[in-house]
Amino acid sequence: MKKVMLSGGGTGGHIYPALSISKAIRQRFPDAEIGYIGTENGLEAKIVPKEEDIRFFAVEIQGFRRKLSLDNLQTVAKFLRAVRKCKKYIREFQPDVVVGTGGYVSGPSLYAAARMGIPTLILEPDVLPGLTTRFLSRYVDVVAISLSGSEQYLSKARRIIHTGNPRGTEVIHANGKKGRKSLGVQQADKPIVLIFGGSRGAKPLNDAVTEMIPRIREAHHLHFVYVTGEVHYEKVTANIKDENEDGIPHLTIRPFIYNMPDVLAGTSLVVGRAGASTLAELTALGIPSILVPSPYVTNNHQETNARWLEEQGAGCMILEKELNGGRLWEMIRAITDDPNRHREMSEAARKLGRPDAAEVIVDELDKLSRRKH
């Protein structure tokens, strides 16, 4: 396998799995050339060019509205123009295989590659496949699903394989001791409860945690790590200071955590959203979770993710509209105070994970590339 073209964008949940695949390709094929098709103004245009030796190709594309709209006519026109541009890029780069990791930019790149006879694979990170994956499933050679349960939505797919999410491959090598040290947690056996609402934070979670401060103050046997998000940090810390002037030694508050894999590797329980990357990390490491799915995402797919994890016995779900400090505290204590339940949830989570996801995908890409030749 000499050349691979990646495509995915819009959110980190689509971009970081692509970069994980890129790293795994380089480990197996050090001389491989890697290209990346992304949108001109998306998050991928900021992240991908910072990576070494990845050639970035930009296209203009937008997503479909889920309701009838004149904007969709413009979307179709942009899609067709993007397909033509992607064909030009593919002819120029000459990839052995084209890989998509989701987001609407994957649509024209994989569709173009399939029409040109280039082997194709798309990774679906969520339980409920997005519109792009459903559309492409009938054209691409392989749909790689991250979580079991996606098959029922992909009846027209040519071939489906369960690979897991490559994001899990990266966190499995993280250093939990290093993560605990960075938080100032001295006791090696003290359980860490990590609470975070994504890179920007989540106000409902922040409100619930602020409400729990009197209870957290008394829970000396636990260490709480509370990630507020940059936008909310000052307001949240001011509110908590009002609640507790002296500070709480077993509470660490951060606006953002840059070494999240190491911190996760040292964590006993996670409270957070239910995005695809989060689920990949939780299942790879076998971490029990309390998930509060964001109701603001496309097709409400986080609720589907959270409900699926709960059904497997690996996590619990609280809908945002039902979230409050009292209920969240009850769920935290129900898991942390019951070693048997914690162990069962951890084992259930680990059974769902595929820490070898990136390697499995590279194996499949190698097979596909050989078919081309």
Residues annotated within the binding site for UDP-N-acetyl-alpha-D-glucosamine are: 11-13, 199, 257, 302
Could you tell me the sign of the dihedral formed by the alpha carbons of 199, 205, 210, 215, in that order? negative
CB 18 within 8 A of CB 101: yes
CB 170 within 8 A of CB 261: yes
- Outline where DSSP puts E strands in the chain: 3-7, 33-39, 54-59, 97-100, 120-124, 142-145, 160-162, 192-196, 223-227, 251-254, 269-272, 289-291, 315-317
Could you tell me the sign of the dihedral formed by the alpha carbons of 142, 314, 298, 35, in that order? negative
Q: What angle do CA 336, 321, 294 make, to 5 degrees?
A: 80
Separation CA 288–CA 265 (nearest Å): 12
Q: What angle do CA 149, 152, 158 make, to 5 degrees?
A: 110
Separation CA 59–CA 135 (nearest Å): 19
Determine the number of helices (DSSP H) and then strands (DSSP E) in the chain.
Answer: 15, 13
Q: Write out the binding residues.
A: 11-13, 199, 257, 302
Separation CA 180–CA 264 (nearest Å): 9
Burial bucket for residue 72 (CB in 10 Å: 0-12, 13-18, 19+) = middle
Three-class DSSP labels, 157-211:
CCCEEECCCCHHHHHCCCCHHHHHHHHCCCCCCCCEEEEECCCCCCHHHHHHHHH
CB 13 within 8 A of CB 275: yes
